[in-house]
Structure 1
Amino acid sequence: MTPSIFLVGPMGAGKSTSGRLLARTLGLTFIDSDKVIEERTGASIPLIFELEGEAGFRARERAVIDDLTREAGIVLATGGGAILAPENREVLRSRGKVVYLHASVDHQMERTAHDRNRPLLQTPDRRGKLEELMKIREPLYRETAHLVVETDGLAPKTVVQRIIRGLRLDGRS
């Protein structure tokens, strides 16, 4: 049986896009933790940040990740900051295979250029913010991951092939 696979990484690394394709390829269920938070609260991520601040959002995120990581046979795309909580790093690492999709700040800038649904990027200096986030989060992504896959310039299909090969999974369609 294929273990659950948990994707971590920065905004714009392709966690949702590659995650959907990976789940389809392996016959698993794809779940996006941010979408589940929105469904359960009935509010968008930006609205949750506005009303509850980042701390309120992170508390909701911890509960959802604890819940979702208990499910078998899933591919879970986590939010970029999910690894900030030690509890999240622990449950992700112990309940499945964690894949860090690494993307350079340049790649993140490209992928998030027109996205208004990312509260932490609603700042005049988006590059500076992405660099600051990577400085804090990069070591945590690497500490948590069983596998690191570089995504810059790669098609989602190639990223998925590298994940399957890296985790030595059966890639039957």
Structure 2
Amino acid sequence: MLAGMDGRDGMRAADADREAVAERLRIALNEGRLDLHEYDERLRQAYAARTYAELEALLTDLPPVTPPQRSGLAPAAASAPAVDPPAGPPVPVTTRGGTARWLAEVWLPYLNVVAVVVTIWAVTSLLSRELLYFWPVWVAGPWGAVLLIRTVTGLTSGEPHRKPPKPDNCQAG
């Protein structure tokens, strides 16, 4: 993918080259070719790489990406001819799952805290047998406004698709 030209291995890689390798590593993770630990390790090395040779070393044991149309596992469509993918670095794949995961990471802590403070307010109001001042608005309002701005700017800038997926939190027994 990156090597092939004589003398290129020693040349300095650009950010776009590192992004292309990071995307290939993400695909390998999704295909089950890398486990999460190895993906994380290689991703760190990719972003720290200076030369094409360092980037190429991260991909040497991975097969090239096969488009679904040309895969032996996927049935070929009779009417659609196989098309080779365009040359150059892969474009990051935008998925609804990635956006939903990012939105959950941004909003779930807020929703959990707001639920707790509203519950505290409701319980104290019930125990006092009168409707108390709704103080949770001072927690929910400003934080919610900040998150709304972060969400809009993050979605417009494509932030959900720039970050590698976070590993699921597994508890060691």
**TM-score normalised per structure 1:** 0.24
Q: Which has the higher contact order (CA 8 A, sep 6+)?
A: 1
Structure with higher Rg: it is 2
TM-score, reference length from structure 2: 0.24
- Higher strand content, 1 or 2: 1
